[in-house]
Amino acid sequence: MNARALGLLLGFAADRLLGDPAAYHPVAGFGTLAGRLERRLYADSRWRGVAHVAVLAGSAVALGVVAERLPARTAGTAVATWAVLGGRTLEREAMAVHAHLAAGDLPAARQRLTHLVGRETSSLDESEVCRAAVESVAENTSDAVVAPLVWGAVAGVPGLLGYRAVNTLDAMVGHRSARYERFGWASARLDDLLNLPGSRLTGLLTLVAAPAGAARAWAGWQRDAARHPSPNAGVVEAAFAGALGVRLGGTNDYGGRVEQRVVLGDGRAPRTDDIARATALARRVGVGAVLVAAYAGSRR
């Protein structure tokens, strides 16, 4: 086993055991730098947005190239993997929503859900809170676990850091709004491109990790995913919906901007216990992803 494969396995284990650092998280630090550069570069222009993502993502890749050449390559890969993965924290946040719902505290569940989604949560009923949590677990299993492992296997530390930089910029400026319609265009499109392989691998691993629901997951993926506005979230949410036997999608309110999302799956409406089932499925998918990534990384 080479340094890349071992580093990916160790970094994944660190994320599962420790989760995100409580303070001085490198991704948060990157976000602060990105915000400062945005204040200097911002204009209602696609080209300014291209410059923004090129400088920041390019710097992350360059840092990764330097780290890849240091003597302690296994340790460097492990630390970078731990820094960019978010599976344990995703599970912790989803299960916190689950705990509030199980205790009958819907207002607390709505508030905690804001840690996972960008939509308006204050008026959601219990089923809609469950739907939002399951959708977030599905999408972020791809974005925060599988996709970074894919790029770590392909390109080592530069792939890990470059992917996380682009994904973070997409979260900051890639959403549709009057301010970011043009400036965030490059970040959003590059994030879509980088997530293509990870989302497809997530869908395939969902079939493997939930054999009893694999036929439903595959059928939902083929039938529903292409109608989702995201070329990547549609795949993983449709696969999770089928695997869990639930129905996702519907109306999402983003604080004044309402989107009617395609219905994914043909099961029942999500319930509280489906949040726990989704996190358990995500955990199995993550294990499958790191094994695939370690194998692929050992061949390079």
Boundaries of every domain in the chain = 3-298
**Distance in angstroms (rounded) separating the CA atoms of residues 67 and 284:** 30
Give the DSSP letter string of 26-59: HHHHHHHHHHHHHHHH--S-HHHHHHHHHHHHHH
Please give the single-letter amino acid code of residue 150.
V
Mean pLDDT value across residues 28-37: 92
Q: What is the pLDDT of residues 206-227, one digit of tens each?
A: 999 999 999 999 999 999 999 9
pLDDT(253) > 90: no
Element housing 251 (H / E): strand 251-253
* Terminal CA-CA length for the chain: 11
Q: What is the pLDDT of residue 261?
A: 86
- Whether 290 and 7 have beta carbons less than 8 Å apart is answered as no
- Whether 160 and 81 have beta carbons less than 8 Å apart is answered as yes
Q: 138: closest CA among 279, 8, 295?
A: 279
Helices (H), the chain: 3-18, 26-41, 46-68, 73-84, 87-102, 106-113, 126-141, 147-173, 180-183, 185-209, 214-224, 233-244, 272-298
Q: Would you say the pTM of this structure is higher than 0.85?
A: yes
Q: What is the pLDDT of residues 146-156, one digit of tens each?
A: 999 999 999 99
- Whether 100 and 32 have beta carbons less than 8 Å apart is answered as no
Q: What is the pLDDT of residue 276?
A: 98
pLDDT(169) > 90: yes
Which pLDDT band holds residue 259 (cuts at 50, 70, 90)? Answer: confident
Tokens of 173: 């400026």
